[in-house]
């Protein structure tokens, strides 16, 4: 069997596994009850998809003889793998099914776009063009992909914050680290608070109103928003240095290949815009002390800016970054 056919078949399997895992997380979230075993199945599926993607990338590296980031298809696969890796790490840290329900659909869409939209010719490995035959390929592109994946996750959490808070100003200072609930196993489980109340109601059906029920739900919801706000800040704070290093490495590579550090290419321009958006986000949090709705709006804006930088400018079909343009 031809190697490209085998590799494309494996990529389609990854798509199917991600679709299954996404469905599992959405079902578990909609059931609104304890579904630990179901979540474990979804998490295992995401791990299997992640391992398969890693093997696909390694096989392309071995067969082609260069780091698999030379065209749009390979960068999409690498972005999907990076998203899954970071997501699995943070799910392990937070024990939250909410993260999987939000982040897995993004990985699914990226993988689906790579496998179902791009032509077979764009999916094939091909010899590197002269400008890409440099040791800077791995440094620059891998840093940019890592930054995209990390910033996408952080900005998605900002959007989730805005959706759950319904664009209302929420006083997160009402929730501090000393606030605790006896059934509160992790910082994200607002849904476990609901389940706890439902189970308590079933144990004591004669009670029409549980003591402090409204307070418990309100505290749980505020802790959820506080956690989303904190984790989005941490993740964006992690992705921003990757973006900075990637842009600097790209400038050095550009000077080596084209004789100029900066050419105001569409990709370069939007990379700068992306950097400025997230620099403003971090500045507002560190210097101004902003949190909640204001910074979530900035982070949510960054989500769309990233996609314009990564894919949007590819529809222009011009510029120095002309490898793998969409036709």
Q: What is the pLDDT of residue 187?
A: 44
d(CA 40, CA 45): 8
Among 127-136, 263-272, 297-306, which is the least confidently predicted range?
127-136
Structural domain count of the chain: 2
For the ranges 128-142, 261-275, 298-312, the lowest mean pLDDT is seen at 128-142
Q: Are residues 159 and 84 in the same domain?
A: no
What pLDDT does 146 receive?
A: 93
Chain-wide mean pLDDT for the chain?
A: 78
* Domain-embedded: residue 213: no
The pLDDT value recorded for residue 27 is 83
List, in order, residues 6 or more apart from 308 with CB less than 8 Å away.
270
Q: Which domain holds residue 114?
A: 1-128
48 and 141 part of one domain:
no
Q: Which two tokens stand for residue 184?
A: 């509160």
Percent of the chain whose pLDDT exceeds 90: 29
Examine the domain organization and report whether 74 and 155 are in the same domain: no
| Least confident stretch, 32-46, 160-174, 210-224, 262-276 | 210-224
Whether residue 150 sits in one domain with residue 120:
no
User: How far is CA 92 from each of CA 86, 88, 97, 186, 188, rounded to the nearest angstrom?
Assistant: 10, 6, 10, 11, 12
pLDDT of amino acid 119: 78
Does residue 180 sit within a domain? no
Write down which residue in 103, 128, 153 finishes a domain.
Answer: 128
Does residue 83 surpass a pLDDT of 50?
yes
Residue-wise pLDDT for 71-82, tens only, equals 888 889 999 999
- Burial class of 83 by CB neighbour count within 10 A (0 to 12, 13 to 18, 19+): buried
């Amino acid at each position: 069997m031809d190697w490209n056919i085998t590799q494309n078949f494996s990529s389609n399997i990854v798509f199917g596994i991600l679709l299954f895992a996404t469905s599992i997380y959405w079902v578990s979230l909609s059931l609104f009850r304890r579904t630990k075993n179901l979540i474990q199945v979804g998490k295992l599926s995401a791990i299997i998809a992640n391992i398969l993607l890693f093997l696909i990338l390694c096989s392309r590296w071995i067969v082609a003889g260069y780091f698999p980031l030379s065209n749009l298809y390979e960068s999409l696969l690498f972005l999907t793998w990076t998203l899954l890796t970071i997501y699995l790490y943070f799910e392990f840290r937070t024990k939250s099914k909410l993260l999987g329900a939000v982040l897995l659909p993004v990985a699914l869409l990226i993988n689906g776009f790579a496998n179902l939209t791009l032509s077979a010719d764009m999916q094939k490995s091909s010899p590197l063009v002269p400008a890409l035959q440099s040791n800077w390929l791995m440094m620059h592109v891998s840093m940019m992909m890592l930054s995209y994946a990390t910033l996408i996750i952080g900005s998605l959490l900002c959007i989730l914050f805005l959706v759950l808070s319904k664009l209302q100003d929420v006083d997160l200072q009402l929730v501090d680290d000393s606030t605790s609930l006896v059934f509160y196993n992790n910082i994200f489980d607002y849904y476990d608070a609901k389940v706890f109340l439902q189970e308590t109601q079933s144990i004591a059906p004669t009670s029409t109103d549980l003591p402090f029920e409204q307070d418990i739900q309100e505290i749980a919801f505020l802790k959820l928003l506080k956690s989303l706000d904190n984790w989005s800040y941490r993740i964006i704070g992690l992705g921003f240095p990757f973006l900075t290093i990637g842009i600097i490495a790209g400038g050095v590579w550009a000077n080596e290949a084209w004789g100029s550090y900066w050419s105001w290419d569409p990709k370069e321009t939007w990379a700068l815009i992306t950097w400025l958006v997230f620099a403003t986000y971090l500045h507002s949090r560190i210097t101004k002390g902003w949190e909640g709705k204001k910074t979530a709006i900035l982070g949510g804006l960054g989500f769309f800016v990233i996609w314009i930088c990564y894919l949007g400018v590819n529809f222009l079909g011009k510029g120095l970054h002309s490898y793998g343009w969409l036709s």
